[in-house]
């Protein structure tokens, strides 16, 4: 797969040159950041990005889109005494969070010590706090840019279950997968994209938030894969405007409420939701007795569950409250991988 350019509405390979006020630990953090470059099975370049070491045995974290579609993956350390490349093996993926865990096959003494630590505490990601982004823009070594966090709770591009930090550190093509580091030298995010129709710097940069990175990294490191719980329902928040729109579309429907999460799209008979008791235009208003009214609340309630767990949904159906005993499913990554394939097809179409 080819990721030579940015996706529409998101610049996949991010970073730019900037001036940074040094703080203790920036040099060590910089030395843990490596350059990745991939090729497909025919030897065509699929793009490049950054990664950073997260363990003493050569494991490194990067963006999923950096390794998507690659058959051959190489890494460069940018060591002045070692400009060789090293083979890289993909160990685990999390397309939902746009993350991947890779193993760099290099001698133990070449692995930087200390490796980078991911911050899981939201209090260390306060709006207005200083951050530094590190990466290899266009293959240039160790580009560092300084900025501040200006939002910590943007929704993820392809899933509401992943949270994004918005920051002002200059980033452009080349640094996807590089770390966003706070003043303590800890990773508070993984730089992923910029908000721009052309992929150039507009002042709006995004990084997968540290706690979501830690969640994914823990599973990839310990289990070798990420298993995310899911309802497998196409739902959205309900308000007065949405209710009116649905009643116009389905005039025979009964939707007495203007709150909760409604199953707006028709459900196939063989779908997970239908098999577990949910119908079209049901509105979920509580999970295990706790009210739910938006996707953030839903995420907080289900992310601690496991596939196979049973939860009790309070549902409004045909003007009545009912309880549905619902089994949690495992999130289907194939649906998310299609997102990257579709974006690539759009990019290739634009080039023709």
Residue-wise pLDDT for 294-319, tens only, equals 888 898 888 889 999 999 999 999 99
Q: With the C-alpha atoms ordered 192, 195, 200, 205, is the resulting torsion angle positive or negative?
A: negative
pLDDT the model gives residue 183:
87
DSSP character string of 125-179: S-TT-EEEEEE-GGG-TTEEEEEEEEEEEEEPSS-TTSEEEEE-S---TT-TT-E
Do residues 263 and 235 lie in contact, with contact meaning Cβ atoms separated by under 8 Å? yes
d(CA 189, CA 206): 9
Residue-wise pLDDT for 11-48, tens only, equals 333 333 333 333 446 777 888 999 999 998 888 888 88
d(CA 252, CA 259): 19
pTM of this structure: 0.82
Looking at the annotation, which residues are catalytic?
65, 98, 176
């Amino acid at each position: 797969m080819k990721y030579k350019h940015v996706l529409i509405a998101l610049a996949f390979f991010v970073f730019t040159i900037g001036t940074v006020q040094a703080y203790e630990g920036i040099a060590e953090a910089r030395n843990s950041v490596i350059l990745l470059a991939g090729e497909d099975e025919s030897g065509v370049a699929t793009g490049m990005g950054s990664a950073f070491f997260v363990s003493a045995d050569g494991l490194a974290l990067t963006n999923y889109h950096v390794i998507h579609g690659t058959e051959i993956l190489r890494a460069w350390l940018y060591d002045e005494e070692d400009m060789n490349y090293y083979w890289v093996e993909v160990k685990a993926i999390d397309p939902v969070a746009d993350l991947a865990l890779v193993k760099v096959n290099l001698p133990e003494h070449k692995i930087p010590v200390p490796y980078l630590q991911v911050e899981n505490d939201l209090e260390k990601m306060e709006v207005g706090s200083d951050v530094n982004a590190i990466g290899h823009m266009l293959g240039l070594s160790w580009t560092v840019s300084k900025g501040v966090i200006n939002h910590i709770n943007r929704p993820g591009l392809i899933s509401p279950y992943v949270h994004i930090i918005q920051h002002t550190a200059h980033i452009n093509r080349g640094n996807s997968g590089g770390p966003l580091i706070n003043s303590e030298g800890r990773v508070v995010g993984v730089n992923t994209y910029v908000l721009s129709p052309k992929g150039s710097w507009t002042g709006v940069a995004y990084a997968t938030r540290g706690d979501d990175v830690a969640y994914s990294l823990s599973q990839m490191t310990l289990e070798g894969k990420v298993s995310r719980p899911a309802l497998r329902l196409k739902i959205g928040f309900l308000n007065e405007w949405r209710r009116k729109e649905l009643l116009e579309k389905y005039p025979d429907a009964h939707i007495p409420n203007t709150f909760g999460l409604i199953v707006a799209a028709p459900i196939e008979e063989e779908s997970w939701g239908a098999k577990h008791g949910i119908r079209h235009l049901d509105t979920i208003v509580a999970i295990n007795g706790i009210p739910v009214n938006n996707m953030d609340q839903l995420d907080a309630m289900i992310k601690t569950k496991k596939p196979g767990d049973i939860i009790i949904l309070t549902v409004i159906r045909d003007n009545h409250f009912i309880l549905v005993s619902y089994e949690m499913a495992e999130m289907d990554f194939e649906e998310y991988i299609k997102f990257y394939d579709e974006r690539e097809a759009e990019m290739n179409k634009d080039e023709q």
